[in-house]
């Protein structure tokens, strides 16, 4: 009997227009506010309210049909949520207690997606739970959400996360051998050349773990750079400064600097081995990368030249 009722609810939801279904799932299952749903869908609050009312009416009608009843007069808006809860309870599908409903809820919370940002680009995405992620140039990332946890796998590049708090579903970012776990916070993760991972917290708390080292908890304003061997070193600076078009370097080999800056260049950028070993400190505005390259010879014993194939080549004197 319960499975038949569950099937009626699923069929009713599947028959809804995509926007109406998305609004209902976001509000009733994810617990998102109508204001947040309106922003995500790009519609007005009145439209979201109408969509939620339409979805509720459709599910109520499906459950009345399942019970062999004729739907009565439409309930006042203030009573529709209560009316739906009562019907679900009579069907053995209490939103809070039914194992079948929880199973359906778990299925509804499954979401997978992958994003790739080209060289010189940037991308901002709002995730189904209301969290937001900003992706730097040259970034590749995969998401896998379910009822128990939300996982982001940073394959390359850098990302800044604004995570919606959900104690029942922690948010994990996996980058190389590093895992950063949060409930609700704003933080950045950057996969650096050479295998290091940089985690910087803007607000809230983040637990950083590596199989070869003890977990470390970071708070607002703190950063940690974890090497491929699991060793961590404190990292100063604002979280994800690349959002402001800035990259900071502190005694970083020029080869690694070139690899990071290549994300933003519209041309190939390479350093020959001797030049790649030179250390660089300072701040680079990525919008003025060409000017930085032209002035590089003033601080390092190198020459910068554009080759016939368009590659910008940095060589030691």
Handedness of CA 129, 131, 132, 137 (dihedral sign): negative
Distance separating alpha carbons of residues 7 and 93, to the nearest angstrom: 11
Predicted confidence (pLDDT) per residue in 169-185, tens digit: 899 999 999 999 997 79
Distance separating alpha carbons of residues 224 and 291, to the nearest angstrom: 30
Least confident of 60-69, 78-87, 109-118, 213-222: 78-87
- Tell me what pLDDT residue 3 has: 60
Closest CA to 223 of 238, 208, 211, 235: 235
- Between 257 and 6, whose confidence is greater? 257
Closest CA to 98 of 32, 7, 9, 2: 2
Mean predicted lDDT score pLDDT of the chain: 85
**CB 204, CB 160: distance < 8 Å:** no
Average pLDDT value for residue range 83-95: 50
Average pLDDT value for residue range 189-197: 93
Residues 6+ apart with CB under 8 A from 37: 22, 23, 26, 27, 48
Q: For residue 184, how many other CB atoms are within 10 A of its CB? A: 16
Handedness of CA 241, 242, 246, 250 (dihedral sign): positive
Token pair listed for 128: 């189904």
How much of the chain exceeds pLDDT 90, in percent? 54
Least confident of 21-25, 69-73, 196-200: 69-73
Of the pLDDT bands very low, low, confident and very high (cuts 50, 70, 90), residue 85 is: low
Which span out of 18-27, 36-45, 67-76, 265-274 was modeled with the highest average pLDDT? Answer: 265-274
Distance separating alpha carbons of residues 214 and 304, to the nearest angstrom: 43
Of the pLDDT bands very low, low, confident and very high (cuts 50, 70, 90), residue 89 is: low
pTM of the predicted protein model? 0.67
- Tell me what pLDDT residue 74 has: 44
- Tell me what pLDDT residue 99 has: 44
Least confident of 21-30, 86-95, 113-122, 243-252: 86-95
Distance separating alpha carbons of residues 268 and 257, to the nearest angstrom: 14
Distance separating alpha carbons of residues 262 and 171, to the nearest angstrom: 30
The answer on pLDDT for 76 being more than 70 is no
The answer on pLDDT for 100 being more than 70 is no
Average pLDDT value for residue range 84-98: 48
Which span out of 7-21, 30-44, 49-63, 127-141 was modeled with the highest average pLDDT? Answer: 127-141
Residues paired with residue 250 on neighbouring β-strands, in sequence order: none
Residues 6+ apart with CB under 8 A from 159: 133, 134, 135, 136, 139, 141, 152, 173, 188, 189, 190, 240
Of the pLDDT bands very low, low, confident and very high (cuts 50, 70, 90), residue 246 is: very high
The answer on pLDDT for 260 being more than 70 is yes
Predicted confidence (pLDDT) per residue in 289-300, tens digit: 999 999 999 999
- Tell me what pLDDT residue 32 has: 79
Structural domains of the chain sorted by starting position, each given as residue range(s) with its CATH number in brackets: 2-108 (1.10.10.10), 111-234 (2.60.120.1440), 245-316 (3.55.50.30)
- Tell me what pLDDT residue 257 has: 96
Token pair listed for 3: 């499975």
Predicted confidence (pLDDT) per residue in 199-245, tens digit: 999 999 999 999 888 899 999 999 999 998 889 999 988 899 999 99
């Amino acid at each position: 009997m319960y499975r038949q009722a569950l099937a009626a609810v699923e069929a009713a939801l599947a028959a809804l227009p995509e926007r109406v279904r998305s609004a209902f799932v976001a509000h009733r299952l994810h617990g998102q506010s109508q204001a947040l749903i309106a922003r995500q869908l790009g519609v007005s609050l009145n439209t979201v309210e109408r969509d939620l009312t339409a979805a509720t009416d459709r599910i109520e009608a499906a459950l009345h049909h399942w019970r062999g009843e004729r739907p009565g007069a439409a309930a006042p808006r203030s009573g529709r949520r209560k009316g739906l809860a009562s019907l679900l309870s009579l069907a053995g599908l209490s939103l809070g207690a039914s194992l079948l409903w929880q199973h359906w809820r778990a299925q509804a919370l499954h979401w997978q997606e992958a994003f790739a940002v080209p060289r010189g680009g940037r991308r901002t995405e709002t995730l189904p739970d209301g969290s937001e992620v900003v992706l730097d140039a040259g970034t590749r990332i995969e998401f896998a959400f379910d009822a128990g946890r939300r996982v982001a796998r940073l394959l390359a590049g850098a990302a800044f996360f604004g995570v919606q708090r959900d104690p029942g579903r922690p948010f994990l970012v996996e980058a190389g051998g590093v895992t950063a776990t949060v409930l609700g916070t704003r933080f950045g993760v950057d996969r650096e050349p050479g295998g290091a991972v940089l985690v910087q917290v803007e607000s809230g708390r983040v637990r950083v773990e590596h199989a070869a080292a003890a977990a470390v908890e970071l708070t607002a304003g703190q950063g940690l750079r974890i090497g491929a061997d699991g060793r961590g070193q404190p990292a100063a600076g604002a979280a994800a400064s690349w959002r402001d078009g800035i990259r900071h370097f502190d005694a970083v080999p020029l080869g690694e600097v070139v690899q990071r800056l290549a994300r933003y260049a519209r041309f190939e950028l390479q350093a020959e081995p001797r030049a790649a070993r030179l250390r660089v400190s300072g701040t680079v505005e990525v919008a003025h990368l060409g000017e930085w390259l032209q002035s590089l010879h003033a601080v390092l014993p190198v020459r910068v030249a554009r080759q016939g194939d368009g590659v910008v080549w940095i060589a030691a004197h």
